[in-house]
Amino acid sequence: LYEKILKLTGIPVSLLDVATGTGTVIRDMKPNLCDALGFDSDPEKIKVAKFQTTSHIRFECISAEKFVPEKEYDLVTIGQGLH
Protein backbone atom coordinates (compact mmCIF):
# COMPACT_ATOMS: atom_id res chain seq x y z
CA LEU A 1 0.00 0.00 0.00
CA TYR A 2 2.77 2.47 0.91
CA GLU A 3 4.48 1.94 -2.45
CA LYS A 4 1.29 2.89 -4.29
CA ILE A 5 0.86 5.99 -2.14
CA LEU A 6 4.45 7.07 -2.76
CA LYS A 7 4.03 6.66 -6.53
CA LEU A 8 1.11 9.08 -6.38
CA THR A 9 2.81 11.66 -4.17
CA GLY A 10 6.40 11.48 -5.35
CA ILE A 11 9.52 10.87 -3.29
CA PRO A 12 10.60 12.19 -0.82
CA VAL A 13 7.49 13.32 1.01
CA SER A 14 6.66 15.10 4.23
CA LEU A 15 4.27 13.03 6.32
CA LEU A 16 1.84 13.79 9.13
CA ASP A 17 0.74 10.59 10.87
CA VAL A 18 -2.37 11.11 13.02
CA ALA A 19 -2.82 8.56 15.83
CA THR A 20 0.65 7.24 15.08
CA GLY A 21 0.65 4.66 17.87
CA THR A 22 4.20 3.33 18.07
CA GLY A 23 5.11 4.89 14.72
CA THR A 24 4.58 1.91 12.42
CA VAL A 25 3.61 3.93 9.34
CA ILE A 26 6.53 6.32 9.76
CA ARG A 27 8.94 3.45 10.38
CA ASP A 28 7.79 1.66 7.21
CA MET A 29 7.98 4.81 5.08
CA LYS A 30 11.15 6.24 6.68
CA PRO A 31 13.45 5.81 3.63
CA ASN A 32 11.06 7.91 1.54
CA LEU A 33 10.47 10.76 3.97
CA CYS A 34 12.09 14.19 3.93
CA ASP A 35 10.38 14.91 7.26
CA ALA A 36 7.63 13.44 9.38
CA LEU A 37 5.57 14.17 12.45
CA GLY A 38 3.60 11.49 14.22
CA PHE A 39 1.30 12.24 17.12
CA ASP A 40 -0.85 10.22 19.45
CA SER A 41 -2.65 10.81 22.74
CA ASP A 42 -1.11 7.71 24.38
CA PRO A 43 2.16 8.67 26.11
CA GLU A 44 3.36 5.05 26.34
CA LYS A 45 3.03 4.57 22.58
CA ILE A 46 4.84 7.84 21.91
CA LYS A 47 7.61 6.74 24.27
CA VAL A 48 8.13 3.64 22.09
CA ALA A 49 7.89 5.65 18.87
CA LYS A 50 10.54 8.13 20.02
CA PHE A 51 13.22 5.44 19.79
CA GLN A 52 12.97 6.09 16.02
CA THR A 53 13.45 9.84 16.25
CA THR A 54 16.00 11.29 13.85
CA SER A 55 16.67 14.81 12.69
CA HIS A 56 13.77 14.63 10.24
CA ILE A 57 11.27 12.55 12.26
CA ARG A 58 9.45 13.76 15.38
CA PHE A 59 6.77 12.36 17.63
CA GLU A 60 4.48 14.31 19.95
CA CYS A 61 1.99 13.28 22.62
CA ILE A 62 -1.20 15.24 21.93
CA SER A 63 -4.81 14.41 21.07
CA ALA A 64 -6.13 14.95 17.57
CA GLU A 65 -8.67 17.41 18.90
CA LYS A 66 -5.92 19.65 20.27
CA PHE A 67 -3.35 19.29 17.49
CA VAL A 68 -2.71 22.28 15.23
CA PRO A 69 -0.22 21.68 12.41
CA GLU A 70 2.56 24.23 12.09
CA LYS A 71 3.07 23.56 8.37
CA GLU A 72 1.63 21.80 5.34
CA TYR A 73 2.39 18.14 4.66
CA ASP A 74 2.45 16.22 1.39
CA LEU A 75 0.70 13.26 2.92
CA VAL A 76 -1.51 12.70 5.96
CA THR A 77 -2.14 9.19 7.29
CA ILE A 78 -4.08 7.79 10.20
CA GLY A 79 -1.57 5.29 11.53
CA GLN A 80 -3.14 3.30 14.31
CA GLY A 81 -6.33 5.30 14.80
CA LEU A 82 -8.68 2.84 13.16
CA HIS A 83 -8.77 -0.51 14.88
pLDDT tens digits, residue range 41-64? Answer: 999 999 999 987 778 899 999 998
* pTM listed for this prediction: 0.85
Secondary structure E strands in 2-74: 13-18, 33-40, 57-61
Q: What is the pLDDT along the chain (83 residues), one digit of tens a residue?
A: 667 777 777 778 899 999 999 999 898 888 889 999 999 999 999 999 998 777 889 999 999 899 999 999 988 998 667 65
Percent of the chain with pLDDT over 70: 90
Cα 51 to Cα 69: distance, rounded to the nearest angstrom: 22
Start-to-end CA span in the chain (Å): 17
Residue type, 73: Y
Cα 39 to Cα 25: distance, rounded to the nearest angstrom: 12
Question: Please, are residues 16 and 71 in contact by the beta-carbon 8 Å criterion?
Answer: no
